[in-house]
Amino acid sequence: MAYTDEQVKAKLSALNESQESIVTVAGWILFHRRHAENTARLFLQRLKDAAPGKRLVLMYLANDILQQSKNRKKDDFLKAFYPIIAEATATAYKGATNEVQAKLRHTIEVWRQRQVLEPSIQDAVEARISDLDKSRSSGKKSLLGGSLFASSGSSTPMELQPLVPLQIAISKASIAITGSVSTANTEFDKLMDPQTPVPTPPVHAARLSALLKSLANAEGAVSESMKARQSLVEGLEKLLETNRTILATEKAQYDELFTRKNTIEAKKRDVEDGIMRGLSADSSSTPVKDGPGTEPHTNGQNDASAEPERPQFEELTPPPVESLTPFDSPRLSAEAPTTANVGADSINDQQPDPKGFSSAVAPPFMPPAPLAGSDLLSSLSMPPVRAYSGIPMNGGAYKKRKVEPAFDEFVGEDAMADLDEDVAELLRAESGGR
């Protein structure tokens, strides 16, 4: 079947919501891809003239044509639909029910996920939908709570918000450029082709007038795009200059903080070195005592392994037995020494003091006599002192100490001379007649 405008309009008018009808019409249109631009123009015209309930089916047809062209890598219809797809989507979206609008938003989201459209065209489509959502009454809300593509104030930084309208204007201008420039170039090449026969002057003049109009439209579209892009560049340069100024300030702050940090680190090292030197000096000047009663002196070396000062402690040697002797005991004499075993230590008694007992060794303990003379007789009648085993010292040899007799001053005298005769006789009888 030959391609004519009437055939295209008939196919679009007979389109219904069934998948078979959409796929059939899309296949027929794709087959005549050489007429893609004319088909796109007729499609937009039919979409504007159709009832609101019929527009969703036409958008499904456009979706099928765009996705098949993308999958087959045939860009004829992509280039033809790029200039009109934003306006077509806005026309179908405006005045539709919430259910239809939700389906259209889903279709647009599919285009973004599958990257069917170019980024600038996709942004332009979403911008048109967002504008329509914002223009609606505040009391009415869409099925999904608003546009899926309307950016909230918190998602865009405050510094970039002035650039958003400029970018949207550039996207719209790019769409206009694509269609107008393509049409103008096509008509120009066709009219200026040397192989094309020259028509009659009236027809030729009319075609030249149409070409001038197309060229003027393309020129205006390019001019608008240039203005929008120039505004965006100025905004970006302003933002760039602001960031450069802030960057210079932050760089100066960084240099100052870096210098201060290095100064504090150097000072901290000096303080730590001073602390370590002070500890070394204190350890090297620690006094060491050789013993009790001696002056402390330093070893002159910082030797961590040096022997520490010996602590002072009390002698644990038990005192001699003589220290327990009462003060009133008779004095020892240096004559007639006797020998007796002692314990573990070897103790040499000192010579008695002429005035009394020795200050170093006390005399042996003797209990006081209750009666005059009875203590003397009792001591004479006592058995001799027995040697007892002591603790061996210096190889286990037992030492004996000399014990001076305590009653040498009575030797050679009669002990009974001062007693009564009866008492003396009694004592002699008890002692065996001695």
Q: What is the pLDDT of residues 98-154, one digit of tens each?
A: 899 899 999 999 999 999 988 888 888 988 888 888 877 544 444 444 444 444 444
179: how many CB neighbours lie within 10 A of its CB? 21
209-215, Cβ contacts within 8 angstroms, sequence gap of 24 or more = 211/184, 211/187, 214/180, 214/183, 214/184, 214/187, 214/188, 215/184, 215/188
pLDDT value, residue 164: 80
Do 58 and 92 meet the contact criterion of CB atoms below 8 Å apart? yes
How do the residues of the chain divide into helix, strand and coil, expressed in percent and rounded to 5? 60, 5, 40
pLDDT value, residue 153: 40
pLDDT value, residue 26: 92
Positions in the chain whose pLDDT score sits under 50: 138-154, 291-294, 296-304, 333-361, 369, 385, 387-396, 398
| pTM of the model as a whole | 0.39
pLDDT value, residue 250: 93
> How far is residue 276's CA from residue 272's CA, in Å, rounded to a whole number?
6
What is the DSSP secondary-structure string of 241-278?
Answer: HHHHHHHHHHHHHHHHHHHHHHHHHHHHHHHHHHHHHH
